[in-house]
Amino acid sequence: MGYYGVRGTSLENNFIKNRIDSDEYVDGFYKLIIPTNISKYGTVSKITYIGTSTCLKTIKAGDIIFGGEGYGKGKSFVVIEEDGNIATNYHGIRIVCDYEVPVSSKIFVKCVLSYLREQGLIDCYGVGGNGGHFAPAYFHLAKIPNFPESIKQEIVCLYHNPQVTYDASKFTLENFLEYDRGFNINAGIYELDKSMKYLQSKLEQAIECIADDEEVDISF
C-alpha cells in the first residue's frame, strides 16, 4: 500500500541539548503527542508542549502517530486538522504513504491497526522485553485487508465523519439535549472526543463560578 514508518525525534537531553516543558500552550513551542497519551480509542488524552532550539521532525495532517514500544505499542492517532508544529518522541512512529492518498485511506489503516492491537496481534508481532517493540522493520507483518470501498468508508466514519459538525453557536439551554443527541448518533470517535472536551471546559467554568460564589452563565 506504500506506507512506511519514520521515527520521531529523540527528546533525550543528550540529543536535543536543551528543552523546556509546559502543560500550557506557549508560542513557538512544539505541540507534543506521544503514544502513552493516546487512548485505545485513538484519541489524545493529554497534550504537552516542548520548547527547544533543536529542529524536531514535525507531523502533517493525515499522518498516523503509532506507538512503537512498551505500553503504548500499537496505539495510534490520525492528525485530522492541519497544525504545522506537532511533534512526537522516538517511541512515536509517523506512518506516511509514499504517494498522495486521501485522509480517509489513512484513517482506514489506523482503524485496522487498532483492531490488530485489540486482538493481541500487535503484541505477537512485537519483539524484545519490557513490553517489546514493533518497529517499522516489522510493519510488513501487519496485513491490511482489501475491503470494498463502501466497507472502508463505513469503518472510516466510525472514527471520523467530516459531514458532522458540532455547531455550538446554535445551542440554547432549551435545544441542547436534542441537538447533542442527534450529533452523537452520527459523529465519529474524533468528533465525539472534541465535543466532550468542549463540554468539559464549559462544565469546569461553571464549577469555578460556583466555587467563587459567582453567577453561573451557561452560554455556548
| Cα(194)–Cα(56) distance, integer angstroms | 26
pTM above 0.85, yes or no: yes
- Give the cell for residue 213: 460564589
CB atoms within 10 A of CB 126: 19
Q: pLDDT 10s per residue in the chain (220 long)?
A: 688 999 999 998 888 889 999 999 999 999 999 999 999 999 999 999 999 999 999 999 999 999 998 888 999 999 998 887 999 999 999 999 888 899 999 999 999 999 999 999 998 888 876 667 898 888 989 999 999 999 999 999 999 999 998 988 888 888 999 999 999 999 999 999 999 999 999 899 999 999 988 888 777 6
Residue 36: per-residue pLDDT: 94
Check residue 184 and give its pLDDT: 95
- The closest of 10, 16, 60, 17 to 34, measured between CA atoms, is 10
Residue 70: per-residue pLDDT: 82
User: How do strand 30-32 and strand 86-87 relate by DSSP bridges?
Assistant: parallel
Tell me what percent of the chain is helix, strand and coil, each rounded to the nearest 5. Answer: 40, 15, 45
Which pLDDT value is given to residue 8? 93
Write down the pLDDT at residue 130: 66
Distance, in Å, from the CA atom of 86 to the CA atom of 60, rounded to the nearest integer, reads 8
pLDDT at 14: 83
Orientation angle between helical segments 176-186 and 189-211, nearest 10 degrees: 150
What residue segments make up the domains of the chain, in order of their start? Answer: 3-144, 168-211
Rounded CA separation 198/92 (Å): 26
Q: Which pLDDT score is estimated for 158? A: 97
What is the structure's pLDDT at 220?
A: 67
> Which residues touch 50 (CB under 8 Å, ≥6 apart)?
11, 19, 20, 21, 22, 29, 30, 32, 56, 87
Place of cell 518522541: 89
pLDDT score for 219: 74
**CATH level 3 topology of 3-144:** Adenine-n6-DNA-methyltransferase TaqI; Chain A, domain 2 (3.90.220)
For helices 189-211 and 149-159, what crossing angle results, to 10°?
10
- Residue at 102: amino acid letter: P
